[in-house]
Structure 1
Amino acid sequence: MGDQTSFGMLQLGLKKAMPFLLMVGLQCGSAGMYIICDVTLKQGMSRYVLIVYRNAIAAITLAPFAFFFERKTRPKMTVSIFLKIMVLAILEPILDQNLTYLGMNLTSASFASAIMNAVPAVTFVIAVILRLEQVKIKEVRSQAKVIGTLVTFAGALIMTVYKGPIINFIWSQKSSHFVQSNDSSDKHWLTGTLFILVGCFAWASFFILQSITVKNYPAELSLAFWICLMGAVQSAALTLMAEHHPGIWAIGWNSRLLAPVYTGIISSGITYYVQGLVMKTRGPVFVTAFNPLCMIIVAVLGSIILAEKIHLGSIIGAIIIAIGLYAVVWGKGKDRLSPVPMTEEKNAGAGELPISAADITISAEDRIKIDKLVEASDGQVHVLKLHK
């Protein structure tokens, strides 16, 4: 009996922690994407071709899983859903990936990942405007989300504006063979920053539209497949218009092959699926709140692999971002624990369902309390009141 109860409590704990573990894993994968793509693009690979291969590989990878796992639960494709998928493909594969790659090529991997931390702030604002996120400024959890978002953006801004002295680490003493001596990124720093900022807005809009689409098309694998497929088709058409040399499509057994395979499987296929899965229960702001972790990982890997210099401003900004990240996640956690008043149930969104008596479940801890009370009752009937 005790072993079963412990196992049940362990399962409950893992279920609660799963969204956090999934998002941390995604940020680790995204950090690898920044490093690999930065190396590949600075070695001369066309960003248009990289995006085509990335989304094509992602679609091929997701296709068998979407077909077998969701063949009985996949809803019917409608014109409205297909149009949303087309817009999603424009926002992420076309706008965000193109502009982010271009901006990263003009600046650096760590700088691009730092600027993209504006995504939680932009996503939060858009979600509030569209009434996907409720803000009650008198409540502590809403204050935590607002302040945390602002603090996160402020930390990223400090990393961008203030550099400070270089902090030398043991691994940063050696220069990397990936660094090119003719790097002219400083000359186009402002232009690259503007491209990344536009890509940031496109990515935030993608999160919002994805959270809306997944409610009408609750098949995460199939949705991710369609986004990647449409992204590959649209990117191929854009590449044919922008590039006129057949040689740009050539790849070999080097970073030109590693970059599209890695980004296709990890950064597009798995990321789209996991994001949709987590958004169904946690919402888009929770997903984007983990983006600062990617920046920290990229800063460390960039100093090791690309020999990028880590400045004092980056360290200060990372600490501030971590504080803001905790505040946003704490506020979102309180949203899930707080009950919905009866007056608000009538105004709930299409994706929110009121709680009925049949939906109430008893946790493993409460079951232990019930068992002890029943054993001590000697067959008499008692009224049990459970407290959270």
Structure 2
Amino acid sequence: MTKNISEVVDGLKPTILMVVVQLFYVGVNILYKLVLYDGMDLRIVIVYRFVFATAFMAPLALIFERKQRPKMTWTILFQGLICGLFGGTLSQIFYMEMLTLTTVTFASAFSNLVPAATFILALFFRLEKLNWKAAAGKAKIIGTLAGTSGAMLLTFYRGARIPTPSFHVTLLHPHKSHVASSHSSSGGNTLLGALCGLGYVSSYSLWLVVQGKMSERYPCHYSSTILISMTASVFSTGFALCTVRDWSQWKLGWNIRLLTVAYAGLVSAGLCTVIIAWCVCKGGPLFISVFSPLQLLFLAFVGSFFMDEMLHLGSIIGGVMIVCGLYLVLWGKGKEMKDKNLLGASQTLHVSSSPEIIVKSSIDDDKGNHNNNISTSNLDRDYSQFSSQK
């Protein structure tokens, strides 16, 4: 009984960890919104985020992976650079520019396309199988579509207002900053914002796919996170130096700015990246991407309780669709893994139970016959000598 419970808990560990990751991301998004209202440029936040992540993960890699780290190859180094460029710098920059050019609703809608884009890229790189005729394949496709549709519904459809208890806590104060008003009113260039949205979705999905390939060759997740963070730090710093002219933006004090960059670096870019790298090994890139709509669902409920936002019927219906889609994908992945294990076990049993067949060549037969003839002739010769003596 205890063994069965431990096996169930071990099987649910990737799912639980990915839900925790989405909760951590909710905290990052709230802090981003707070520091944006405080007037800090998000391009500077991105730089500090990866600098803090590199400084935080380096001691952990030395402690836990000092003796088991495999040899660094050019392939692993190239994959780390790709992950740092696309998963770190480009995805964050594209998302920030999309927020600047459009609205928060528009940016949230594009973020919900990550599972579908990841599924397509995983099929292209042969990390996933379509397998439409099997129940597992149908569950993955329908679940991905249901989760994406639910996130879209949560974003665009409001419906009737759902009364929620108020804690009389308002974290945002829009009158304190001119940055928020500029972001909210900059929805004119929708086409360029859509292009940035496609860039964000493509970059983030490509990072998940390359991360899956990298984890197969280099299963040291702390060290791989350092490589990704260092690469993202270099690219992000270069971009910020070329675009940000106000040097006062780089100053950090004992305020919300320091809290934001520290949390984003230590938790989001550091700890969450390690968890994602481990979960990619267990479930693949599609498994990671289907949890993305949960972040929007959590934000909707947190905002209704602590950020003076309203909860509507669309949030409830969209949340139910997100959870159902997530369950379908997880069920499909679990069934695929179960069928794969059963197939491997049956093949092993078939090989072990097959009869042993001894094949002798004609050369061996000729040698045997030749030896027998020699032995027979020797016996006849000895017998004739014995008879003559007698």
TM-score (structure 2 length as normaliser): 0.80
SS state of the match for residue 173, structure 2? Answer: coil
The residue number in structure 2 matching 1:100 is 95
C-alpha separation in 2, matches of 1:97 and 1:186:
19
Q: Which stretch of structure 1 is more off in the superposition, 187-196 or 208-217? A: 187-196
The residue number in structure 2 matching 1:228 is 229
Q: Which among 59, 63, 68 is matched to residue 64 of structure 1?
A: 59
The question of whether the paired residues in 1 share the 8 Å contact of 2:121 and 2:209 is answered with: yes
- Alignment partner of 1:37 is 2:38: no
SS state of the match for residue 308, structure 2? Answer: coil
Post-superposition offset of 1:162: 2.6
Q: Which among 3, 22, 37 is matched to residue 27 of structure 1?
A: 22
Aligned letter for 1:289?
V
SS state of the match for residue 113, structure 2? Answer: helix
Post-superposition offset of 1:334: 0.7
Q: Which among 113, 126, 129 is matched to residue 124 of structure 2?
A: 129
Q: Which among 170, 173, 178 is matched to residue 173 of structure 2?
A: 178
SS state of the match for residue 233, structure 1? Answer: helix
Q: Which among 112, 120, 132 is matched to residue 117 of structure 1?
A: 112
The question of whether the paired residues in 2 share the 8 Å contact of 1:33 and 1:267 is answered with: yes
C-alpha separation in 2, matches of 1:258 and 1:40:
9
- Alignment partner of 1:78 is 2:73: yes
| Cα deviation 1:90-133 (Å, max 9, x = unaligned) | 11221111222343466676774554222111101111122110
Q: 1:275 to 1:354 in 2, by over 3 A?
A: farther
What are the within-5 Å matches in structure 2 for residues 260-279 of structure 1? 260-279=261-280
The residue number in structure 2 matching 1:187 is 185
SS state of the match for residue 174, structure 2? Answer: coil
Q: Which stretch of structure 1 is more off in the superposition, 71-80 or 163-172? A: 163-172
Post-superposition offset of 1:340: 6.2
Post-superposition offset of 1:315: 2.5
Q: 1:83 to 1:294 in 2, by over 3 A?
A: same
The residue number in structure 2 matching 1:287 is 288
The question of whether the paired residues in 2 share the 8 Å contact of 1:128 and 1:134 is answered with: yes
Post-superposition offset of 1:308: 2.9
Post-superposition offset of 1:269: 0.6
The question of whether the paired residues in 1 share the 8 Å contact of 2:103 and 2:186 is answered with: no
Q: Which stretch of structure 1 is more off in the superposition, 178-187 or 211-220? A: 178-187
The question of whether the paired residues in 1 share the 8 Å contact of 2:46 and 2:236 is answered with: yes
What are the within-5 Å matches in structure 2 for residues 142-161 of structure 1? 142-161=137-156
C-alpha separation in 1, matches of 2:104 and 2:234:
27
Q: 1:97 to 1:250 in 2, by over 3 A?
A: same
- Say which structure is richer in helix: 2
The question of whether the paired residues in 2 share the 8 Å contact of 1:145 and 1:332 is answered with: yes
Post-superposition offset of 1:232: 0.9
C-alpha separation in 2, matches of 1:174 and 1:210:
39
The residue number in structure 1 matching 2:327 is 326
The question of whether the paired residues in 2 share the 8 Å contact of 1:113 and 1:298 is answered with: no
C-alpha separation in 1, matches of 2:221 and 2:55:
15
- Alignment partner of 1:169 is 2:167: no
- Alignment partner of 1:336 is 2:337: yes
- Alignment partner of 1:55 is 2:53: no
- Alignment partner of 1:243 is 2:244: yes
Aligned letter for 1:211?
G
The question of whether the paired residues in 2 share the 8 Å contact of 1:63 and 1:225 is answered with: yes
Aligned letter for 1:187?
S
Aligned letter for 1:24?
V
The question of whether the paired residues in 1 share the 8 Å contact of 2:143 and 2:324 is answered with: yes
C-alpha separation in 1, matches of 2:348 and 2:58:
37
Post-superposition offset of 1:172: 8.0
| Cα deviation 1:182-201 (Å, max 9, x = unaligned) | 73555334465653443122
- Alignment partner of 1:301 is 2:302: yes
Q: 1:178 to 1:198 in 2, by over 3 A?
A: farther
Q: CA RMSD in A?
A: 2.7
C-alpha separation in 1, matches of 2:100 and 2:146:
28
Q: Which stretch of structure 1 is more off in the superposition, 154-163 or 316-325? A: 154-163
C-alpha separation in 2, matches of 1:15 and 1:295:
27
SS state of the match for residue 253, structure 1? Answer: coil
SS state of the match for residue 186, structure 2? Answer: helix
Post-superposition offset of 1:169: 2.3
C-alpha separation in 2, matches of 1:174 and 1:73:
48
Aligned letter for 1:290?
F
Aligned letter for 2:185?
K
Q: 1:334 to 1:171 in 2, by over 3 A?
A: same
Q: 1:217 to 1:356 in 2, by over 3 A?
A: farther
Q: Which among 1, 6, 11 is matched to residue 16 of structure 1?
A: 11
Aligned letter for 2:186?
H
